[in-house]
Amino acid sequence: MRSLLFIPADDEKKLSKGTQTGADVLLLDLEDAVAPSRKGDARKICADYLARTREVQGRPRLFVRINALDTPYWADDLAGIVKAQPDGIMLPKPRGGGDVHTLSVALDHAEQGAGIASGSIRIIAIATETAISLLNMPSYVGASARLEGLTWGAEDLSAAVGARTNREADGRTWTSPFMLARNLCLMTGVAAGAQPIDTVFVNFRDAEGLRAEASTAARDGFTGKMAIHPNQVAIINEVFTPTEAETAEAEEIIAAFRAQPDAGVVGIRGKMIDKAHLALAERLMSRAAAARRQG
Ligand code: COA
Ligand code: MG
Atom from ligand 1 closest to the CA of residue 26: 1
Residues 211 and 258 both lie in one domain: no
User: Which candidate, 116, 123, 171, 172, places its Cα nearest to that of 150?
Assistant: 123
Confidence of residue 52 (pLDDT cuts 50, 70, 90): very high
- Ligand minimally distant from the alpha carbon of residue 226: 1
> What per-residue confidence (pLDDT) applies to 223?
96
The answer to whether residue 276 scores a pLDDT higher than 80 is yes
Q: Is 151 found in the same domain as 45? A: yes
Q: Would you say the CB of residue 17 lies under 6 angstroms from ligand 1? A: yes
- Mean pLDDT across 155-167: 94
Q: Indicate whether 112 and 37 sit together in one domain.
A: yes
Whether residues 90 and 218 share a domain: the answer is yes
Same-domain pairing of 7 and 75:
yes
Task: Quote the domain boundaries for residue 64.
Answer: 3-239
Taking the centre of ligand 1 as the mean of its atom positions, its distance from the CA of residue 82, in whole angstroms, is: 25
What pLDDT sits at residue 272? Answer: 92
Average pLDDT over residues 288-294: 88
pLDDT at residue 261 tops 90: no
Ligand 1 neighbourhood includes 8 CB (under 6 angstroms): yes
Q: How many domains is the chain built from? A: 2
Specify whether 106 is located in the same domain as 191: yes
For residue 270, the CA-to-ligand 2 centroid distance in Å is: 48
Closest alpha carbon to 180 in 226, 131, 233: 131
Helices 275-294 and 233-240 cross at an angle (nearest 10°) of 150
Is the predicted pLDDT of residue 295 greater than 80, yes or no? no
* Pairing status of strand 195-198 against strand 147-151: parallel
Q: Of 199, 222, 239, which closes a domain?
A: 239
Find out whether the beta carbon of 154 lies less than 6 Å from any atom of ligand 1: no
Q: Tell the residue nearest (CA) to atom 29 of ligand 1.
A: 229
Does 23 share its domain with 169? Answer: yes
CATH number where 111 lies: 3.20.20.60
Same domain membership, residue 288 and residue 155 = no
Give yes or no for a contact between 242 and 291, defined as CB atoms under 8 angstroms apart.
Answer: yes
Instruction: Please indicate, yes or no, whether residues 232 and 248 belong to a single structural domain of this protein.
Output: no
Residues 86 and 139 in one domain: yes
Residue 274 Cα to ligand 2 middle (Å): 42
Same domain? For 113 and 228 the reply is yes
Answer with the one of 213, 239, 265 that is the final residue of a domain.
239
292, pLDDT greater than 90: no
Between helix 233-240 and helix 207-220 the angle, nearest 10°, is 30
Mean pLDDT value of segment 214-234: 97
The string of pLDDT tens digits covering residues 64-73 is: 999 999 999 9
Q: How, if at all, do strands 3-8 and 25-29 pair?
A: parallel
Model pLDDT for residues 126-149, shown as the tens digit of each residue: 999 999 999 999 999 999 999 999
Model pLDDT, residue 293: 85
Instruction: Read off the pLDDT of each residue in 92-117 and give the average, rounded to a whole number.
Output: 97
- Does 63 sit in the ligand 1 pocket, CB within 6 Å? no
Residues 183 and 273 reside in one and the same domain: no
Nearest CA to ligand 1 atom 12: 14
Which of 222, 239, 256 lies at the terminal end of a domain, its last residue? 239
Average pLDDT across the chain, whole number = 96
Q: With the C-alpha atoms ordered 133, 139, 144, 149, is the resulting torsion angle positive or negative?
A: positive
**Distance between Cα 56 and ligand 1 center (Å):** 22
pLDDT digits (tens, 9 = 90+) for 66-102: 999 999 999 999 999 999 999 999 999 999 999 999 9
